[in-house]
Amino acid sequence: MQSLWSSLLSGEASNPGTFSKRTVDFVASMDKKDAKLFTEFCQFAWFMNDVTPLVFDSENEIYNSKGVNFGSLKHLDAIGLISFEPTSGYIRKGFGKYAQIYYFGQPVLIEFTNNKDNQMQIGKVLLTQAGQELAPICGANRNNEFYEYVIDYWYKQGLILSSPLPNK
């Protein structure tokens, strides 16, 4: 909680208006358990013009082993950090032939089959405004197993993927 508050206050001090009043008020009411859960949840987020969590199956062990499951997602939805749609999920539309997205700074280039109007299943969760503002400062860490899970998931959907090898 302290590091979340520290990041929020330093961001607000160096660039006033970075965080909405609603987000600041939300953090003030947040408890340590919620902050920890949100931080664990954010390891499943990629950057596609905004922070985009990729939760394809809330009962998959890749999520459950980190405490992210149907119940915890419903809780994050109830407190206002995410929007959880367990049945139909969400699709991101409007991709051209290529899209570059990032996982904790690592770029992944996606090549679609069509030249325009491509879409991608992004799972069952979106971040709210507060979630978008807090995700970059919550202290989440990269999960290499999850990175490989997502790459495999997209590959099985017929997408062509490329990424530079990470620096050692």
In 30-105, where does DSSP find H-type helix? 32-41, 61-64, 70-79
Closest CA to 98 of 111, 117, 113, 114: 111
pLDDT tens figures, 93-130: 999 999 999 999 999 999 999 999 999 999 999 999 99
pLDDT at 164: 81
The confidence score (pLDDT) of residue 30 equals: 78
Interatomic CA distance for residues 130 and 156, integer angstroms: 33
Residue 27, burial from CB neighbour count under 10 angstroms (0-12, 13-18, 19+): buried
CA distance 129 to 9: 17
**Side chain identity at residue 66, one-letter code:** K
Paired sense of beta strands 45-47 and 90-95, if any: unpaired
pLDDT at 24 over 80: no
Q: Is residue 13's pLDDT more than 70?
A: no
Predicted TM-score (pTM) of this structure: 0.85
What are the φ/ψ torsions at residue 111 (nearest 5 degrees)?
-110, 125
pLDDT in tens, 41-69: 999 999 999 999 999 999 999 999 999 99
